[in-house]
């Protein structure tokens, strides 16, 4: 886990919040998940969550 400003665990966010943080649409977040461009976890059958630091790291690595 990359996040650790004050030794606090990073909170998972939903796809709406992830889209907001990235400045993109929820639809684009869904497309990036489908293309395995960003990491996510699924809780139960329909709940998908993201660790923002891992998503940002994946996108940075993809663009290098």
Name the pTM for this structure. 0.83
- The set of residues, in sequence order, having a beta carbon less than 8 Å from that of 38 and lying 6+ positions away, is 29, 32, 50, 54, 55, 58, 59
Calpha distance 4→38 (Å, rounded):
20
CB 12 within 8 A of CB 37: no
pLDDT in tens, 3-25: 566 778 899 999 999 999 999 99
What integer best gives the mean pLDDT of the chain? 91
Task: Characterise 24 by phi-psi region: left (phi > 0), alpha (psi -120 to 50), beta (else).
Answer: beta
- Token pair 């990036």 is found at 32
């Amino acid at each position: 886990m990359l996040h650790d400003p004050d030794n606090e665990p990073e909170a998972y966010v939903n796809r709406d919040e992830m889209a907001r943080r990235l400045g993109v649409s929820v639809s684009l977040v869904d497309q990036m998940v489908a293309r395995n461009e960003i990491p996510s976890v699924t809780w139960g059958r329909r709940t998908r969550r993201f660790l923002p630091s891992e998503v940002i790291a994946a996108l940075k690595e993809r663009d290098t």
